[in-house]
Amino acid sequence: MYGGGYIFEETKNGKPESEDQGKLKNFEAKIAAGEKIEPSDWMPAEYRKQLIRMIEQHAHSEIIGALPEGTWITRAPGFRRKMALMAKVQDEVGHAQLLYSAAETLGKPREDMINDLITGKSKYSNVFNYPAVTWADTAVIAWLIDAGAIINQVANSKGSYGPYCRALERICIEESFHLKYGHDNVVFLATGTPKQREMVQDALNRWWKPIMHFFGPSDKISVHTETLMRWKVKMASNDDMRQKFLDMYVPKIWELKLTIPDPNLKKNQTSGKWEYTEPDWEEFKRVINGDGPCNKERLAVRRKSEEKGEWVRRALMRQDEQYVTPLS
Ligand code: BYC
């Protein structure tokens, strides 16, 4: 594979030049030895490009991911739940900041990343293009989507790029609180009145498909897994992560006597693997490419907040003295 497109690195004037095979060998030896690659280390251009793509998408997912639950802050049932949800949403935005910083170490300015998000050039997680219809949706998101995220992030925090791994470690600690908060909310509803049980079952029915998509396309059709796993950016394949999620969470869902909307879901006792209805990858592609139920709404919110926050950024950057004079 290295004989192909990966042996070139872009120089400052954008022209590719042959990468030093010795550097490539050292780089791969470091990764094989489990050492971290740091921003000032030499790295192949393709490694840099893949990391920027993945970390940037992850950062966008956190910041857009704050929106479906964020819309419930004003309607949360009770003051304690409202405070907890506000803290969670703030955490998610904080995760985006950590991840944008990690991606910046690879050379892409934050302004460019935000611009690529609001113009629809960059992707973010499929799940956040679906609406949180009731309070129970926020419970399912906080429990099961955070659970899926933790499975992915705990694995990848053992990966090769130092700044991403350190950001993931910190994020996972906070996500573990989110998961407990989400589980508490789901248990409360599932053991509550018939109406509350119905609400949480409906929410689970709505979210199951996006959650199955969340781990990415099946290994048969995944585009980047092979490269990313070879360079220890991804530490498990999409299907393996999905299997781990099913292993850990299907029993917990069934324990609450909730139904999973997939008649084919069962564990094959011989292979030890979960069998399930193959997710609709055409729908997945549509949603991640801009045609989901809430894509337009989500990006419109980000665009508006970008416009409204412009004066703050200008003031902080001290580019316009009229904003900073009173504080100086
Ligand atoms: N959604 O070759 P593949 C959170 C794209 S937020 C959208 O398998 P890869 C939270 C993929 O980008 C945490 N797009 O890709 C926040 C690629 O497209 P491009 C979110 C997806 O990278 C708030 C194409 O499909 N977690 O926890 O090897 C509230 C082919 O896929 C998705 C992360 O972002 C998707 N689900 O593997 C609550 C984790 N899946 O770029 C909770 C970081 C695939 O070629 N990301 N695509 O145009 C990853 O671990 C990996 O990127 C993935 C995909 C496993 C997601």
DSSP secondary structure of 76-95: -SSHHHHHHHHHHHHHHHHH
Which of 57, 93, 154, 234 for a ligand 1 pocket mutation test, highest count of atoms within 8 Å of Cβ?
57
Helix-strand-coil split of the chain, %, nearest 5: 65, 5, 30
Most ligand 1 atoms within 8 A of CB, residue of 125, 185, 237 to mutate:
125
In ligand 1, the atom with minimum distance to the C-alpha of 125 is 1
Alpha helices in 191-237 (DSSP H): 194-214, 225-230
Q: How far apart are CA 199 and CA 201, in angstroms?
A: 5
Residue whose token pair is 């993931």? 168
Length of the chain (residues): 328
Per-residue confidence in pLDDT tens, the chain, 328 aa:
323 333 334 444 444 445 688 999 999 999 999 999 999 999 999 999 999 999 999 999 999 999 999 999 999 999 999 999 999 999 999 999 999 999 999 999 999 999 999 999 999 999 999 999 999 999 999 999 999 999 999 999 999 999 999 999 999 999 999 999 999 999 999 999 999 999 999 999 999 999 999 999 999 999 999 999 999 999 999 999 999 999 999 999 999 999 999 999 999 999 999 999 999 999 999 999 999 999 999 999 999 999 999 999 888 887 656 555 555 4
Nearest CA to ligand 1 atom 47: 216
Q: Which of 50, 56, 61 to mutate to test the pocket of ligand 1 (most atoms within 8 A of CB)?
A: 61
Calculate the alpha carbon distances from 48 to 44, 45, 296 in Å.
7, 5, 30
Domain spanning 2-9+30-319, CATH architecture: Up-down Bundle (1.20)
Go through 165-183 and write b for each residue having 16 or more CB atoms within 10 A of its CB, e for each that does not.
bebbeebbebbeebbebbb
Of 281, 276, 251, 252, residue with least CA distance to 266: 276
User: What's the Rg (C-alpha) of the chain?
Assistant: 21
pLDDT score of 44 = 96
Q: Where are the alpha helices (DSSP H) in 119-237?
A: 135-140, 146-156, 162-190, 194-214, 225-230
User: Which residue type occupies 64?
Assistant: I
Ligand 1: residue whose CA is nearest its atom 53:
216
Residue nearest to atom 35 of ligand 1 (CA): 125
Q: What are the angstrom distances between the C-alpha of 215 and each of 115, 175, 244, 293, 325?
A: 25, 17, 11, 19, 49
**Burial 60-86, CB ≥16 within 10 A → b, else e:** bbbbbbbbbbbbbeeebeeeebeebbe
Query: Ligand 1 — pocket residues by CB below 6 A?
Result: 53-54, 57-58, 61-62, 65-66, 92, 123, 125-126, 141, 145-146, 149, 152, 213-214, 216-217, 222-225, 228, 234, 238, 288
Which residue in this structure is represented by tokens 């609709």?
A: 280
Give the Å distance between the CA of 54 and the centre of ligand 1. 7
Alpha-carbon span 246 to 124, nearest angstrom: 23
pLDDT of residue 316: 87
Three-state secondary-structure class, residue 161: strand
The residues that bridge with 266 in the sheet, in sequence order, are 275
Contact present, 66 and 94 (Cβ < 8 Å):
no
Report which of 162, 165, 171 is spatially closest to residue 95, judged by C-alpha positions: 171
Quote the distance between the C-alpha of residue 287 and its chain's center.
Answer: 15
Contact 68, 133 (CB under 8 A): no
**Measured between alpha carbons, how far is 207 from 186 in angstroms, rounded to an integer?**
13
